[in-house]
Structure 1
């Protein structure tokens, strides 16, 4: 049962073990400053104990990506990254990150309509390695959170390997893990459905920063709910999930 408790945390490590063989065709990008930052962040994260840090003391970063599609292994790419810091239950609206990502190919019409991003904007945007470098500076050694985080995990793993030949170093916690304890009836709900249930205004949907802010507010709400049910750390949350099956 204890191994089951840490499965959400360890699954990312297992997936990264296959990264080298899957992405071996990508060129190595040599940038000493970028690689030094990655090594620094890895050392910082090794010093932390996020599993046992009380939620009200845990600093996280809510993230969201807009992409050209759903399948990074088939060539879909990141076109924007949004992030906002959350300290305990406090959403830090004044500590945000947003950037478009350079993309030379024409976007599908439905993606342009959904995101409001144009081909011209992406052609003028900074390249992926530069955006990731600034993104890493912003998130530092924080745990990342996202709503239905598999999308973000897959794209960031591939982007980091493509840009730096390095696994993506950060843990990403799926907010749906909290919902299984906080609101079991909504555990598969879309972001706007959760927001509607709790009178959270839905603003800038399908904009990376707008969705990151919504995810941050849902996280803050769910932290309060899971604490009332006796879960005060990620370790306690995972143990409760394992017991509940």
Structure 2
């Protein structure tokens, strides 16, 4: 499933939006696998911001109603016990959709996160998101072609961005926000 969100790829337009005080939401998902057809979101982290700073934060773990693989547990440090103690995403997705309302979404490899988010919206019988979106993976390839990698972890190290707990949704969302700001300031 391809997400219906419109990507903003015009760098001049994006910088103007940023400088004019547009509100962005950097977000990340942690999932039980790589395909939204048979995997689920188990964590979303997000930070709403402008060029002047953070406006608000949103983070939540969910019960994906699936058994987590040892690989996913090792990658995210999210355990089966942690997700089993949580509500299903359907209990909190309306709150997240309200949080991102009227903002431009920012994500690293945005298509992945948006495909999962919109698949969850469909499973919850909610309309899919139609926010404009910016992909910091694509943006970094345009603005920083000299870097040997464009993975979020690598770019965070390259620019001295504090990663917090890598592969946890909220910390990755904050890292993504900081990378986006670096892109806008270049």
State the TM-score, normalized to the length of structure 2. 0.85
Unaligned runs of 5+ in 2: 7-12
Provide the C-alpha distance between the structure 1 equivalents of 2:100 and 2:126, rounded to a whole number of angstroms. 20
Unaligned runs of 5+ in 1: 1-10, 16-49, 226-245
In the alignment of these two chains, the number of paired residues is 178
Provide the C-alpha distance between the structure 1 equivalents of 2:14 and 2:150, rounded to a whole number of angstroms. 25
Q: Which residue of 2 aligns with 1:61?
A: 25
Q: Which residue of 2 aligns with 1:78?
A: 41
The structure with the greater share of residues assigned to helix is: 1
Classify 1:188/1:140 alpha carbon distance in 2 versus 1 (closer, same or farther; 3 Å).
Answer: same
Provide the C-alpha distance between the structure 1 equivalents of 2:23 and 2:148, rounded to a whole number of angstroms. 23
Whether contact under 8 Å (1:129, 1:164) holds in the other structure is no
Dislocated runs of 4+, deviation >6 Å: none
Task: Return the offset for 1:180.
Answer: 3.4
Whether contact under 8 Å (1:91, 1:220) holds in the other structure is no
Classify 1:139/1:187 alpha carbon distance in 2 versus 1 (closer, same or farther; 3 Å).
Answer: farther
Match of 1:179 among 113, 122, 140: 140
Whether contact under 8 Å (2:149, 2:155) holds in the other structure is no
State the TM-score, normalized to the length of structure 1. 0.66
Q: Which residue of 2 aligns with 1:13?
A: 4
